[in-house]
Amino acid sequence: MNSDIQSNLYLSSVEPASCHDVTARPDNHPWHSGKPSHSAERVLQINGLKHSWNKDYVLFEIPELSWFKEQVIWLKGENGTGKSTLMRLMAGLEPVQQGSVFFSDIKPSLFRSSGRGRVCYLHQTPYLFAGTVQQNLQFVIRSLPFARRRKAEQRLTEGRQMAALHHLNDQVATTLSGGERQRLALLRAWLLQPDILFLDEPAANLDDGSVELICMMVKDLIQQGTAVMLSSHQSCALTQLTNQSWLLKNGTVYAL
Ligand SMILES: Nc1ncnc2c1ncn2[C@@H]1O[C@H](COP(=O)(O)OP(=O)(O)OP(=O)(O)O)[C@@H](O)[C@H]1O
């Protein structure tokens, strides 16, 4: 898989381990993560994460932040505050400059080297492989370990209906409309059933009908156990699936 593909559909094979040593933080700290409970399974842990694109300006600095399994997160923030950068860092698509990002006890950078996987990042303008819709879907199914491939194949017909792509099977994927592309990208993720799904502005430029379809697939993934984080500028059906907000502001993250 080349780096372009990885940057839009990133897979790993490592199963995140559960973690129970939750440390309570004072409520007035900007990084306080809301409602940790001692029984909560942690998806991800950030410590001392600092990122700069140039040496004169720190984009953000996050002392400590936890994401727990029961939290479906809406990442908010004004244009340019670093939402995409943060998601890409969490997905292991950007190198960590300072601090750490752990999926429980495993660094995302180790996910990459271990190949096929469990973490998926979808960009707002998803990369589609050359070829038809069907070939795009088959490519993803073939990327799965053998044991999971059969199940994905069984889900294909249902998925195509759910994404309203059943009539576009033989169409060249690069000729799809914006909404159809987004639905195809999400259908690929739906077939993969990742442990963690990052959706970067999934509703951008979509009409209400497409948002509803995407919403249905994301809801289904959440019910199947996928931990989901999405960024979105506006409130929509998708953001209604979330139960925790992280606000990127003044160069740090506030868990609301
Ligand atoms: N690869 C890069 N090299 C240099 N600067 C970058 C790079 N990627 C992003 N930036 C800069 O970092 C800042 C944050 O960008 P990012 O895309 O993460 O913000 P965002 O909150 O997702 O924005 P938007 O809401 O507009 O999508 C911007 O000023 C952007 O120009």
Tokens of 83: 């939402």
* Residue 143: CATH number of its domain: 3.40.50.300
* 53, 88, 121: residue to mutate for ligand 1 pocket, most atoms within 8 A of CB: 53
Tell me how far the alpha carbon of residue 87 lies from the centroid of ligand 1, in angstroms. Answer: 11
Whether the Cβ atoms of residue 171 and residue 199 lie closer than 8 Å to each other = no
Half-sphere exposure for 51 (CA within 13 Å, toward CB): 26
Give the 3-state secondary structure of residue 140: helix
Tell me how far the alpha carbon of residue 86 lies from the centroid of ligand 1, in angstroms. Answer: 9
Asked whether residue 17 is assigned to any structural domain, the reply reads no
| Amino acid 160: pLDDT | 93
Tokens of 115: 């190949």
| Amino acid 38: pLDDT | 54
Question: Sign of the CA dihedral 216, 219, 221, 224?
Answer: negative
* 50, 75, 84: residue to mutate for ligand 1 pocket, most atoms within 8 A of CB: 84
DSSP β-ladder status, 196-200 and 227-231: parallel
Q: In whole angstroms, what is the distance from residue 45 CA to residue 60 CA?
A: 16
Tell me how far the alpha carbon of residue 255 lies from the centroid of ligand 1, in angstroms. Answer: 21
| Amino acid 18: pLDDT | 25
Give me the phi and psi of 93, to 5 degrees please. Answer: -95, -10
Asked whether residue 196 is assigned to any structural domain, the reply reads yes
Q: Whose CA is nearest to atom 25 of ligand 1?
A: 79
Structural domain that includes position 154: 24-255
Asked whether residue 3 is assigned to any structural domain, the reply reads no
C-alpha distances out from residue 180 to 165, 168, 209, Å: 7, 9, 11
Q: Whose CA is nearest to atom 13 of ligand 1?
A: 80
Asked whether residue 163 is assigned to any structural domain, the reply reads yes
Closest approach atom of ligand 1 to CA 87: 18
Tokens of 197: 């799904």
State pTM to two decimals. Answer: 0.82
Tokens of 219: 């809801």
Q: Whose CA is nearest to atom 6 of ligand 1?
A: 53
Q: What is the pLDDT along the chain (256 residues), one digit of tens a residue?
A: 433 333 333 333 222 222 222 222 333 333 334 455 556 788 999 999 999 999 889 999 999 999 998 899 999 999 999 999 999 999 999 999 999 998 864 555 545 444 345 789 998 888 888 899 999 999 989 988 888 888 889 899 999 999 999 999 999 999 999 889 999 999 999 998 888 999 999 988 788 888 999 999 999 999 998 999 999 888 989 999 999 999 999 999 999 8
* 7, 75, 85, 249: residue to mutate for ligand 1 pocket, most atoms within 8 A of CB: 85
Closest approach atom of ligand 1 to CA 94: 1
Secondary structure, 3-state, 176-237? CCHHHHHHHHHHHHHHHCCCEEEEECCCCCCCHHHHHHHHHHHHHHHHCCCEEEEECCCCCC
Q: In whole angstroms, what is the distance from residue 141 CA to residue 131 CA?
A: 15
DSSP per-residue string spanning 49-116: EEE-SBTTB--EEEEEEEEETT--EEEEE-TTSSHHHHHHHHTTSS--SEEEEEBTTB-HHHHHHT-S
Q: Whose CA is nearest to atom 26 of ligand 1?
A: 79
Q: Name 136's Cβ contacts closer than 8 Å, sequence gap at least 6.
A: 128, 129, 173, 184, 188
Asked whether residue 18 is assigned to any structural domain, the reply reads no
Exposure of 103 by Cβ count < 10 A (0-12 exposed, 13-18 middle, 19+ buried)? Answer: buried
- Structural domains in the chain (count): 1
Asked whether residue 231 is assigned to any structural domain, the reply reads yes
Distance of CA 165 to the CA centre of its chain: 22
Asked whether residue 109 is assigned to any structural domain, the reply reads yes
Asked whether residue 10 is assigned to any structural domain, the reply reads no
* 74, 83, 90: residue to mutate for ligand 1 pocket, most atoms within 8 A of CB: 83
